[in-house]
Amino acid sequence: YEHRLLYVDDRHRRVLVRNDETNEEEYLEYDLLVGADGVRSVVRNGIQVNHRDFECRVDDIFATFKAVHVKLPPKVGPGTLTLLPNSMPNMNGIALPEKGGMICMSFGHNLNKPCDEELMSDDPKVVAKYVKEKFQAYALIDYEDFAEQWCNQSWNTTGQVHCNFYHSNKLNCLILGDAAHATSPSIGMGMNTALSDASCLNRLLDKHGDDAWDEVRPAFSQERVKEGQALSDLAYYLFSFDTKQQLRFLLEGAIRTAIWKRFPSLVYPDPQVLIGCGYKLSEVYAAAKSMGIIDAVHATNDPARREYWEKRWGMIQEKKTRGGISAKVLLSATLCAGLAFSMYVYQQMSSPTVLS
């Protein structure tokens, strides 16, 4: 504890660490290395350096958010997780239960759709008034406390991680938790998945034996990669950047769930319901895929994200005419005029000719 991991020395099976208090550095030898060192994992970097077939992608979640800890609202039961899509303009949220009659509420917006200026304010009175007016999912006990916490913090970002395996027999190591599959907090399953990693590892050791690490490590990857991939993909692709598309999915999910309650063998319920029922995330992913949600949201979110960064980096620019009208608008107007003219010509040619 109180040390920072800096480097994995693959040749000598040792790691370089730095004492947080003294800044002194030293090498520590290891027999087995378990990397639970977060989204910027040094252990994962060691795997990447030593395995050319190791595919690893670390992305931003394309959103910025804030989190506050407030008293449990009267209409929210203890231990209840609440999903709050579009609960304020351009803001998606999630509320996670805490001990002591508290709840952690996180709200964020996608980078291409900023929130209203009131939520950018440093004035708690402005924020409190706005949240009281716009947040209608349920009433909060203390809007002023919410606003004070909101204004006293900066906007947060986090990353998501995808890896195609979680181990290296060459390095005698494996990764788990955020080091293997960091994710957006949107479905509230990051910690649960990390705990499932630990439970799986314990079960595999019971099955193969405490000294059979050469068998345990690949078996761990075989079992957990699909869950980690499903975790990060569900967190990102269950929620469309397009509000109309997302509302349609919510409506379809409500209908599916109502039918499922009466005829469970006929249809899947909403994917969020499956998560709450304890299904494996890989099973939830397969269900969401079969419903067409994953592919449809891919087709919406991926181009929107790419277009945002293309414009942000100056790779593309929306061309303007001399009068200030965008080329896209001008092209649309030209096409409409051309269509109208074509219809007029067609009508004239198809009108009957009257001979005197």
* End-to-end CA separation in angstroms for the chain: 103
pLDDT of residue 322: 56
Q: How confident is the model at residue 346 (pLDDT cuts 50, 70, 90)?
A: very low
- What's the pLDDT score for residue 205? 96
A 10 A CB-CB count for 236 gives 23
- Per-residue pLDDT band for 81 (boundaries 50, 70, 90) equals confident
Please report which confidence band the pLDDT of residue 233 belongs to, taking 50, 70 and 90 as the band edges.
Answer: very high
Strand, coil or helix: 248: helix
Which residue is listed with tokens 């690490």?
213
Give the DSSP letter string of 36-60: ---TT-HHHHHHHHH-TT--EEEEE
State how far the Cα of 58 lies from the Cα of 242, in Å rounded to an integer. 24
The string of pLDDT tens digits covering residues 186-223 is 888 999 999 999 999 999 999 999 999 999 999 999 99
d(CA 59, CA 42): 16
Residue-wise pLDDT for 58-76, tens only, equals 999 999 999 999 999 999 9
The average confidence (pLDDT) of the chain is 89
Angle between helices 124-134 and 143-151 (to 10 degrees): 130
Partners of 301 in the β-ladder: none
Asked whether the CA dihedral 306, 312, 313, 317 is positive or negative, the reply is: positive
Going by C-beta distance under 8 Å and a sequence separation of 6 or more, which residues neighbour residue 56?
44, 47, 48, 161, 162, 163, 164
Beta bridge pairs of residue 224: none
Mean predicted confidence (pLDDT) in 16-37: 95
- Which residues are CB-contacts of 212 (< 8 A; sequence separation ≥ 6)? 205
pLDDT in tens, 276-327: 899 999 999 999 999 999 999 999 999 999 999 999 999 988 666 555 555 5
Predicted confidence (pLDDT) per residue in 330-345, tens digit: 555 555 555 554 454 4
Q: How far apart are CA 316 and CA 327, in angstroms?
A: 13
Q: At what angle do helices 293-312 and 281-290 cross, to 10 degrees?
A: 90
CA-CA distance, 123 to 118, in Å (whole number)? 9
Give 92-118 pLDDT, tens digit per residue: 999 999 999 999 999 999 999 999 999
Distance, in Å, from the CA atom of 218 to the CA atom of 212, rounded to the nearest integer, reads: 11
Which pTM was predicted? 0.81
